[in-house]
Structure 1
Amino acid sequence: MQLIPRHDPHLVVHSTGGPTVAALHGELDLVLVRHLRPELDALVRESEALTVDIRGLTFCDATGLGLLAHCAGRVQARGARWRLICDQPWILRLIRLTALGELLRPEAAAPGDQPAVRPSEPGVTSPVS
């Protein structure tokens, strides 16, 4: 397992030999989408299985949903596995209202899924193997 320095309190990425998990935190709006898109694009290109955990989001607008749809579409087009972990009723409602359910395929966390824990401070490291 390799530790990669992180200086972003809005994205925690880890992999333990299985799927790559990207946990998002905060408000997924235009500003954060512009900030996170390059790193998420890299994960989309490199991951054979990508799980995006959005349980740590406190807000998500149309731009945020667009980023998630972009990632899901590219992952699935590559033939890789996509998983979106979401348990917030307000985000699930947005997904339903925008007819993105079939593309995003949100699901509740499985018993083995770790909670989306927000880093306690910037500069926290996240394990990646």
Structure 2
Amino acid sequence: MQMIPRHDPYLVVRSTGGVTVAVLSGELDLVLVRHLRPDLDALVRESDALTVDVRRLTFCDATGLGLLAHCAGGAQRRGARWRLLCDQPWILRLIRLTALGDLLRPESTPPGGPAVE
């Protein structure tokens, strides 16, 4: 995978074969959402296939979940392929409680492949 140059400890972006992977880490709260939203909006606009990997998050509040829903909705409207990699039970519970499962469609690993690193 080719890494897109960045100097952000909370977002690492890689792209290969038409698939863009955005790996988020840290605490996805109001402060980080404000920081990441412009970059994630650009990825949604420019990617035909976007995978957002949240397996390294240590916290996610309603604002963070809202950002993920915003990105998933934007990708869906564009007809882009969306994938959310998530294996933390506490985030999966938030997704279930907010009835966002159909929009976010969380997966623990990419189908047919190893985990994205």
Could you tell me the TM-score, scaled by structure 1's length?
A: 0.84
Query: Which position in structure 2 is the counterpart of 1:96?
Result: 96
Larger radius of gyration: 1
Give aligned pairs, total. 115
Whether 2:83 is the aligned partner of 1:83: answer: yes
Aligned residue in 2 for 1:113: 115
Per-residue CA deviations over 1:4-57 (Å, capped at 9, x if unaligned) read 432110000001114100000000000000000000000000000000000010
| Amino acid in the other structure paired with 1:112 | P
Structure number with greater CO (CA < 8 Å, separation at least 6) is: 1
Distance 2:94 2:10 in 1: 21
Which residue identity does 1:85 align to in structure 2? L
Deviation of 1:113 (Å):
2.7
Separation in 2, partners of 1:50, 1:91: 19
Kindly report the root-mean-square deviation, in angstroms, between the aligned alpha carbons of the 2 structures.
1.4
Q: 5+ unaligned residues in a row in structure 1: which ranges?
A: 116-129
| 8 A Cα contact 2:55 2:87, kept in partner | yes
The corresponding residue for 2:74 is: 74
Check the 8 A contact 2:2/2:14 in 1, yes or no. no
Q: Distance in 1 between matches of 2:78 and 2:84?
A: 17
Residue of structure 2 in register with 1:126 after alignment: none
Alignment partners' CA distance in 2, 1:42 and 1:73? 14
Which structure carries more helix by proportion? 2
